[in-house]
Amino acid sequence: MGRDVIIACDFSSKEEVLNFLDKFQGKKPFVKIGMELYYAEGPSIVKEIKARGHKIFLDLKLHDIPNTVKKSMAVLSRLDVDICNLHAGGTKRMMEAALEGLTRPDGTRPLLIAVTQLTSTDQESMENDLLIREPIDKVVMHYAKNAADAGLDGVVCSPLEAQKVHETCGKEFLTITPGVRFADGDIGDQKRVMTPAEANKIGSDYIVVGRPITAAADPVAAYERCLNEFVG
């Protein structure tokens, strides 16, 4: 899989997400299904969107004991999505177990990506709530390295961290980056943002874009613009 734009389909019902995807007619954008939609509609929404021909990033961020994550990943592997994820904070052993569970009997599997520290976690909350006293950048890189050592395919990170992740974990290690906005667009609640063109320049492999596309007056035009700016 090469560089691509993944649309964050942050909707809470089947009706909303299918209405949105219907606008794309012949086009089949890569979509991200998060907890909100998955918990509302269950695995059937994943199967339905897959059957329509979309690639799917199933963003459920698993984090539990290794055995539970392994078994849950085995169940998710049957949904035939393209990307799954988990929290690197669950340790290397959890990530290795996840990879085992995700690998199908024929040896194939979806890509497995780790979340390092959530971007909602800042230095202060990491120190006070989690008692982690290292600088957050160092923690993020350490978690990324753990994910690479465990055999995962990449991390979700801020576009500002993508270059450093590639330097630390290798060029092939994927960076999936949210926090993307058009130069003339609304930032909303994202704090550190980049345009699709900037994300391309610093080496993001995939960008995850939600509201700049889902809330646009013309979502298909916004998606095309994003794709043109990012992939060229």
Binding site for ligand C5P (CB under 6 A): 8, 10, 34, 118-119, 156, 178-179, 190, 208-212
Nearer to ligand C5P, 97 or 226 (CB): 226
User: Among residues 61, 70, 138, 201, which one is catalytic?
Assistant: 61
**For residues 9 and 104, what is the distance between their CA atoms, to the nearest angstrom?**
27
Query: Whole-angstrom Cα distance, residue 59 to residue 83?
Result: 8
61 carries an active-site annotation: yes
Q: Is the dihedral of CA 186, 188, 192, 195 positive or negative?
A: negative
Q: How far apart are CA 227 and CA 2, in angstroms?
A: 12
**How far, in Å, CA of 186 to CA of 194, rounded?**
12
Min CB(160)–ligand C5P separation in Å: 11
CB neighbours of 106 closer than 8 A, spacing ≥ 6?
A: none
Structure tokens at 66: 């290794």
| 103 vs 123, beta carbon nearer ligand C5P | 123
Structure tokens, 94: 């959890």
Q: How far is the CB of 34 from ligand C5P (least distance, A)?
A: 5
d(CA 122, CA 129): 10
Which DSSP helix (H) or strand (E) runs through 16? helix 14-22
Residues with catalytic roles: 61
